[in-house]
Structure 1
């Protein structure tokens, strides 16, 4: 299998140039950061005031699909720093409408379906109503008690599914959920497609179809920005939950650090990341969702003493400023959001004015990023 080697001196040169380019930027103003987050969220909540309404993109889908689940991940993080009652009511009403269940019920093995469980658990922690966890527990117990571990055969699923296991394991004080989470993650990481995590490049192939000999037009491996963002965010959300003495904590932490180093090398001069991390000319241009997820991870790393503040704060500030200044419309609409898909060519064109097929997950990614930037000292 082709493994692209990175010359150490080239990495250090690129890294040093990137740091030099962003030194001296002003520190993020917390009020301005919060104002930007609230503005984008207000746009969404007003446009989608009816949280019960189905999605009709191509076909009818209920509103508890993964795209909306990601939005609510961001909303619950926003609520944690800005506990506005309307935010709670919006999330609670949505969950109640769906009876705290998934679009294909508690028997589903599809991580896209049970992504909503992240919000159900967050709300349970605030209200402690047992009905909120009935389907979540039934679903994960089914997964725990069946032998297969290869359900997450595309890396997006890592973000949709892993945090549910981590959150429920902590909430119920049940290590069995941590164990199954590792088994499924390890299968995706090391077995599916020969292992979807390329340790030499520090990045993930989206699924087995993109493992070499598949390449981008420039001959590089195909590393899709948002796909890698999903994994990066999942590692953050797991590390933020599980005990530091959990037996696989250090492996998750190592993967997070490896990815961080790889992602820094791919940042554009303007602060964004391209849809294609190793081929900037293949549908090159600003892209908000991957950028938001990378900001989220790096800011969390700084906030938790995992990443060096002096090194990473300028990188984070540059990326966050780029989104705030270049992507947010006056009405709160978020530009440069790549539509759904699995590779750089999907959901194109990605422009300031283009409307993605689903905009909820893009806003959810942005909220995750904004909350962590807001927390930075």
Structure 2
């Protein structure tokens, strides 16, 4: 009797699961139809005969049927990791013309931006620089669709830059709740959007002023966060030197966090996509990229080709080869080689890192779905509970698979190798 009850319950769960799948599929009919065709051809959800860029993108779309889910969100939320994966989707759409990639991007804008231009869950008054990054998706969608709601939303995001609190010399605070603090993360979160918006909507002297301000943000970071001995940059700097994590003399946080450095590298190469060719700041950014690449190659693991959660302490207890930083470094170096910012000889380090990711951090399910493992879920400084920036703090943060902060850069790096 117990066995019969068990079978009935199992059948009910199977039916319920099927219903949930169907409901989800109905919300993304184009993607579902495409997936069904691909599955029927290969017997797999994600065909294994595609290149890694598409295999990972399709895997993300399978895991997160709606693009607002990409940050493991349970309901539509304006967060930055979605934009990194969608950057890959944009480039894949341009490369392949496959409409399911465009629909996936477009759905993000449709769900997150109301007709009056307001953005779900976005609060301007928090002055959180992280929340500018998804503005890149709207810049793309406005270029394609010219919807008034996207223009209104973009203008609102741009006003955040005008009001964003700054250090005495002019560096953006990371958030209003983190006074006087500059984090490496913030350069990626804000500067590509700021540069792209300026290129598309600002002209003349105002544009020059904005470009100068953008380059200054990198100048300031090089001045205040760079360790001249190693060439690495510390995660954060507190101008006031009041934070418990800040050195009382320098204001610097105590460690070189892998993804913090990763954000900074991607910020430089992505800003150069939009900074005018004749702007004097280009040469400076390219010189920073060279210094940066030399520093991270020195701490690249010689055997695996990967990078560690805390970059300069590979042998200390608890440290591990971390996926998001590794993917970001590979993307930064290979894109810099492709664009001519670095000599071709640097491709060796990028390829070693890329192969190391595929060999050590990628797993493929029986249905073809690709996973990126050993991603640091999140790390920061201060806040509640307090994050002290210690070695122990970084290596004990949650580790998970398929974080958009890793899968996105992996897609972008793959596309650079596939050029």
TM > 0.5: yes
The alignment partner of 1:204 has SS state of: coil
The alignment partner of 1:329 has SS state of: strand
Q: Distance in 2 between matches of 1:334 and 1:53?
A: 17
Q: Distance in 2 between matches of 1:136 and 1:221?
A: 36
Structure exhibiting the larger radius of gyration computed from Cα positions = 2
Retained in 1: the 8 A contact 2:331–2:413?
yes
User: Could you report, residue by residue, the CA deviation over 1:242-270 in whole angstroms, capped at 9, with x for unpaired residues?
Assistant: 11222422222221111011111111021
User: TM-score, normalization: structure 2?
Assistant: 0.70
CA gap of 1:64–1:249, structure 2 versus 1, over 3 A, is same
Which of 334, 338, 348 lines up with 2:372 in the alignment? 334
- Is 1:289 aligned to residue 324 of structure 2? yes
Which of 360, 366, 369 lines up with 2:410 in the alignment? 366
Which of 136, 151, 159 lines up with 1:141 in the alignment? 159
Alpha-carbon distance, 1:123 to partner: 2.2
Alpha-carbon distance, 1:164 to partner: 0.3
Q: Distance in 2 between matches of 1:321 and 1:183?
A: 35
After superposition, residues 18-37 of structure 1 pair within 5 angstroms as 35-37=51-53
User: Could you report, residue by residue, the CA deviation over 1:217-245 in whole angstroms, capped at 9, with x for unpaired residues?
Assistant: xxx96211110000000000001211122
Q: Distance in 1 between matches of 2:49 and 2:136?
A: 25
Q: Distance in 2 between matches of 1:213 and 1:267?
A: 30
More displaced 10-residue stretch of structure 1: 85-94 or 180-189: 180-189
Q: Distance in 1 between matches of 2:298 and 2:70?
A: 40
The alignment partner of 1:333 has SS state of: strand
Q: Distance in 2 between matches of 1:86 and 1:265?
A: 41
- Larger RCO: Structure 1 or Structure 2 (Cα < 8 Å, ≥ 6 residues apart)? 1
Which of 55, 76, 83 lines up with 1:39 in the alignment? 55
Retained in 2: the 8 A contact 1:33–1:374?
no
Alpha-carbon distance, 1:39 to partner: 1.6
Which of 68, 71, 76 lines up with 2:82 in the alignment? 68
- Is 1:94 aligned to residue 99 of structure 2? no
Q: Distance in 1 between matches of 2:285 and 2:141?
A: 26
After superposition, residues 268-347 of structure 1 pair within 5 angstroms as 268-269=301-302, 270-282=304-316, 283-309=318-344, 311-330=345-364, 331-342=369-380, 345=392
The alignment partner of 1:203 has SS state of: coil
After superposition, residues 147-186 of structure 1 pair within 5 angstroms as 148=166, 149=170, 150-152=172-174, 153-174=182-203, 175=207, 176-186=209-219
The alignment partner of 1:151 has SS state of: coil
Retained in 2: the 8 A contact 1:298–1:312?
yes
Alpha-carbon distance, 1:293 to partner: 0.8
Partner of 1:355: 400
The alignment partner of 1:260 has SS state of: helix
CA gap of 1:182–1:61, structure 2 versus 1, over 3 A, is farther
Alpha-carbon distance, 1:38 to partner: 1.6
Q: Distance in 2 between matches of 1:55 and 1:268?
A: 29
What stretches of structure 1 of length at least 5 have no aligned partner?
A: 1-31, 215-219
Retained in 2: the 8 A contact 1:205–1:211?
no
User: Could you report, residue by residue, the CA deviation over 1:7-26 in whole angstroms, capped at 9, with x for unpaired residues?
Assistant: xxxxxxxxxxxxxxxxxxxx
The alignment partner of 2:342 has SS state of: coil
